[in-house]
Amino acid sequence: MSPLPLPIRCDRVEAELAELATFSDPPFPGVTRVLFSAPDLAARRWLQGRFRAAGLEVRADAVGNLFARWLGEDPGPLAVATGSHIDAVPHSGRYDGTVGVLGALEAFRALRESGFRPKRSLEIVVFSAEEPTRFGVSCLGSRALAGRIGPEELAALRDEAGRSFAELREAAGLGHLPLAELAPPRYAAFVELHIEQGPLLEREGAAIGAVEAIAAPAAYRIRWLGEAGHAGTLLLADRRDALAGAAEGILAVERAARESGSADTVATVGQIAVSPGALNSVAGFASLGLDLRDINPERRERVASAIREAFVEIAGRRRLELSWERIYEDPPAACDPGLVAQILASADRLGLRARRMISRAYHDSLFLARLCPTAMIFIPCRAGKSHCPEEHASPAAIEAGVRVLADCLRALAG
């Protein structure tokens, strides 16, 4: 089978990516779009307009997921789905997630313009809060659909300002949808287009990554309790300095990851808070956010244990109290071999160099894989950079990804 020449217009995707990037909290040109913030709500409204203009039927669910459906001619019970997310961590780029949403929209438009009429319904899903910025939990939307977080737990999540998910959801205009009625969607397949967020494809000159497995992420909140005091009068020997303990902890995290035996282990402390937080006060309290990932869950557990042991030793020696809270510990996901083969075959037909690979980053696909056959299409991004303003995917890279996605969707829904 030779593909129809699809009228994919990359300039349209580029313009939409640029426009979507303007829905952001300052400072610009970085993108900051946190769940249910004013820019997030404005971006959702804008996106729904684009979906409707493309003839898609739009609905939202109780977690804030958006669905845009192209009704099939003989739909049956199972749709074919694609999509990603549009929320963005503070000061990040314009491609993470958004390429999978606006790329899917362009694939739908090109397929329709080519005369294609799907048999099965085709659906774009925009997952709510893939990033953990607001509540410290990743993939709220897909996690809830997969039943990995319950309605009560979800409603009770609180952000740093103390506002609950339920309260923010209400303010976002979704309060009329009962959280308890969230039902898992029924999909024949889910394929997510995404930038790699790593350097592999660019380094090897490949246009397409067919993702076979998604690394297992875990996140923890570690609190160090010492004693606050005056920076002038509390002598060193008498101190129980929570920040100094936490600093030792940060270095222990780095060491434990380096000594895991595999370069695939990554551990990161990217969040820290101290109290009282004054220039002239010894910190009585420090809290760290720890992100730990591996493709091998046993190795990840070994590293987590090594970190916990190091923290206990530091806390004991420094007379600090320690609390270790698990935010999440998600199991890795394997992609569907048939879909992976489909992606490789589509790339091959389109003359694009492709390779099998794993995803080190966290994606909604991790949870969709629990519901239906799932796979991911990766495209290269410059120098592998992501979650920073320098994040960049070239128009040619995006076009290649959209072509492969459209080809897969045509095969799956045709």
State yes or no: cis peptide before 118, omega within 30 of 0.
Answer: no
State yes or no: cis peptide before 29, omega within 30 of 0.
Answer: yes
Can you tell me which of 271, 308, 310, 345 binds a second copy, judged by CB under 8 A? 271
Residues 93 to 112: which contact a second copy by CB under 8 A? none
Of all helices (H) and strands (E), which one includes residue 320?
Answer: none
| CA separation for the pair 274, 178 (Å, rounded) | 37
Residue 198 as a binder of a second copy (CB under 8 A): the answer is yes
Closer residue to a second copy (CB): 269 or 379: 269
Binding part of the chain for a second copy, among 10-18, 69-77, 251-259, 365-373 by CB under 8 A, reads 251-259
| CA separation for the pair 206, 369 (Å, rounded) | 25
The end-to-end CA distance of the chain, in Å, is 13
Residue 237 as a binder of a second copy (CB under 8 A): the answer is yes
Residue 196 as a binder of a second copy (CB under 8 A): the answer is yes
Secondary structure of residue 72 in the 3-state scheme: coil
Closer residue to a second copy (CB): 274 or 375: 274
Contact by Cβ (8 Å): 68, 358: no
Can you tell me which of 1, 161, 183, 263 binds a second copy, judged by CB under 8 A? 263
User: Could you tell me the smallest distance in angstroms from the CB atom of residue 339 to a second copy?
Assistant: 22
Residue 281 as a binder of a second copy (CB under 8 A): the answer is yes
| CA separation for the pair 310, 129 (Å, rounded) | 32
Closer residue to a second copy (CB): 186 or 262: 262
Can you tell me which of 64, 83, 136, 141 binds a second copy, judged by CB under 8 A? 136
User: Could you tell me the smallest distance in angstroms from the CB atom of residue 205 to a second copy?
Assistant: 18
Binding to a second copy by CB under 8 A, coded x per residue (else -) over 355-394, reads: -----xxx---------------------xxxxx------
| 368 φ, ψ (degrees, to nearest 5) | -60, -30
| CA separation for the pair 304, 253 (Å, rounded) | 9
R_g of the chain, CA atoms, integer Å = 23
Can you tell me which of 213, 274, 333, 368 binds a second copy, judged by CB under 8 A? 274
State the number of binding residues for a second copy (CB under 8 A).
Answer: 71
| CA separation for the pair 217, 56 (Å, rounded) | 34
User: Could you tell me the smallest distance in angstroms from the CB atom of residue 216 to a second copy?
Assistant: 10
Give the residue from 218, 205, 200, 185 showing the smallest Cα distance to 83. 185
Binding part of the chain for a second copy, among 8-16, 46-54, 62-70, 130-138 by CB under 8 A, reads 130-138
Can you tell me which of 77, 178, 233, 298 binds a second copy, judged by CB under 8 A? 233
User: Could you tell me the smallest distance in angstroms from the CB atom of residue 234 to a second copy?
Assistant: 7
Non-local CB neighbours of 392 within 8 Å, separated by 6+ positions: 93, 95, 381, 382, 385
User: Could you tell me the smallest distance in angstroms from the CB atom of residue 225 to a second copy?
Assistant: 13
User: Could you tell me the smallest distance in angstroms from the CB atom of residue 317 to a second copy?
Assistant: 13
Compute CA distances 372 → 82, 272, 375, whole Å: 12, 37, 10
Binding part of the chain for a second copy, among 60-68, 97-105, 239-247, 300-308 by CB under 8 A, reads 239-247
State yes or no: cis peptide before 184, omega within 30 of 0.
Answer: no
292: left (phi over 0), alpha (psi -120 to 50) or beta: beta
Can you tell me which of 238, 313, 321, 348 binds a second copy, judged by CB under 8 A? 238
| CA separation for the pair 380, 36 (Å, rounded) | 29
Neighbours of 44 (CB within 10 A): 22
Can you tell me which of 71, 172, 327, 371 binds a second copy, judged by CB under 8 A? 327
Can you tell me which of 270, 331, 338, 395 binds a second copy, judged by CB under 8 A? 270
Buried b (16+ CB within 10 A) or exposed e, 351-364: ebebeebbbbbbbb
Closer residue to a second copy (CB): 22 or 268: 268
Residue 155 as a binder of a second copy (CB under 8 A): the answer is no
Closer residue to a second copy (CB): 43 or 283: 283
Closer residue to a second copy (CB): 67 or 362: 362
Residue 192 as a binder of a second copy (CB under 8 A): the answer is no
